[in-house]
Every structure is written in structure tokens, then in C-alpha cells.
A = this chain, B = another copy of it.
Amino acid sequence: MKNAVVLLSGGLDSATCCAFARRDGFELYAMSFSYGQRHSVELDAAKRVASYFNVADHKIVTIDLRAFGGSSLTSDAMDVPLNRDIESTGDIPNTYVPARNTIFLSFALGWAEVAGCDDLYIGVNAVDYSGYPDCRPEYIEAFSKVANLATKKGVEGNNFTIHTPLINLTKAEIIKSGIEMGVDYSITHSCYKPSDDGRACGKCDSCVLRHNGFVAAGVADPTVYC
């Protein structure tokens, strides 16, 4: 069986990404990050998803992105926007975490090289998303070049492939695909501003995109809201 490193936040997209990687025939090496995120409860979901997919290994890497903040997800000085009209604006919201996917992919790259994985999976999506620049195809393409120039494996001609199976899907299509592949979305967590007991707020961008996706897919939303 081939091995792949899969970035796993514990959200709907990364859980579906795991399902795609498994469908593609990979043994999964899941990597999550405790990065100082406000919604660190997502790591419990990541553990559930890793267990659900019976991954070969699950590393939770601790890094402190609060050291520089600059995002409402990593700084208590900023508020997570609620009830935002996602459709109406092309602005990048303050939930954007500077360089987050680049940091995550860099660690995934290092682990992939050591573990002998040629393949990385990341559940970025450039359709029903919050406009984060590091979710776009051109970004992934550029990081792929970095991956192959940065590494011994790349120099030796064994290229890394970064798979983004969700990148061009709507949220509804992601959910429908996941359901077909047996994903249990009740074990995932997407909310940026959960209650202390881990229930979803229903009002942040991530909750709204998720709920709208279930509605559009015609699938009952299993999320427990406040």
C-alpha cells in the first residue's frame, strides 16, 4: 500500500480529504496542528477522524502561531466575525491566518520525506471558501515546486505530488462525495467559535458554509449547534 501524508484539521473538508486519499489507495499518515487556535476543540475531532480512518500514524504538532497573531483565530484581541454575508464581498476576513497553509504544508513535506511518502493531501477548496489566498490552485502549484526544489527526494528526481481533491468542488459536492465514501460528518468539527462544551456557533463563516453545504446537498446537518 502506498503512503500519503494527509493534513487533518478535524473539519468537514479534511475528513473528506482523508476519504479521497483512502479511496485512492493510500495508507494515511495524518498530521494535525495545535497552533494556538481559538477552536482547539477541532483537535478532538481530528483524533476521532484519524481513528475512524484507522490511520497508520497521527501526529499532532504543537506550534505557537499566537507568537505573532494577526488573525481572529490566533489572537484574543480580534473577534471572529459572525453573521457575515459571505456572498457579498471578496474581502479576506480576519479569520485568515498568515502563512498557515504554508507552515502546515512545510511540516507535512518534512514528514513525508522522512516517512518515504511521495504524496500529500490537503483539503483546500477554492469554491465555497472564505477567500483565503493559500487555498487557491495557483498557490498549491507554487508550493509543489517548492516541495520538489527544497528536498533531497526532489533533487533525486522522486517528485512529491500535492493532491487537492476538493479544490474545485462546491461544499455540497464535497459532502455528497464524502457521504458516498462513508464519511460520518457527525464526528467532524468546523466552527471557529465553539461553546466551551464544543457546540458550533452556527454564525461564523465556517459554520455558515458548512450548514449551507448540507442544505444544498439535501443531507441532514448532523452538527450540534449552541
Copies held by the complex: 2
Q: Mark A128-162, 1 if CB is under 8 A from B, else 0.
A: 00000110101100110111011110110000000
From residue A167, how far is it (CB to closest CB) to chain B in Å? Answer: 14
Which residues of B sit under 8 angstroms from A98, Cβ to Cβ? 109-111, 113-114, 151-152
Say if the beta carbon of A1 comes within 8 Å of chain B.
no
Q: Report the Cα distance A15→B215, complex, angstroms.
A: 57
Which residues of B sit under 8 angstroms from A139, Cβ to Cβ? 146, 149-150
Q: Is the CB of A142 within 8 A of B146?
A: yes
Interface residues contributed by chain A, number (CB under 8 Å): 43
Q: Is the CB of B65 within 8 A of A63?
A: no
Listed residue (A59, A67, A99) with the most chain B CB atoms within 10 angstroms of its CB? A99
Say if the beta carbon of A179 comes within 8 Å of chain B.
no
Q: Pick the contact of A103 from B100, B107, B145 — CB < 8 Å?
A: B107
Q: What does DSSP make chain A's interface, helix, strand, loop or mixed?
A: helix
Q: Report the Cα distance A109→B103, complex, angstroms.
A: 9
Closest to A102 in B: B106
Listed residue (A59, A92, A103) with the most chain B CB atoms within 10 angstroms of its CB? A103
Q: Report the Cα distance A10→B67, complex, angstroms.
A: 20
Say if the beta carbon of A69 comes within 8 Å of chain B.
yes
Q: Is the CB of B113 within 8 A of A70?
A: yes
Listed residue (A62, A64, A69, A146) with the most chain B CB atoms within 10 angstroms of its CB? A146
**What is A's interface to B at a CB cutoff of 8 Å?**
59, 61-65, 67-70, 92, 96-103, 106-107, 109-111, 113-115, 133-134, 136, 138-139, 142-143, 145-147, 149-152, 154-155
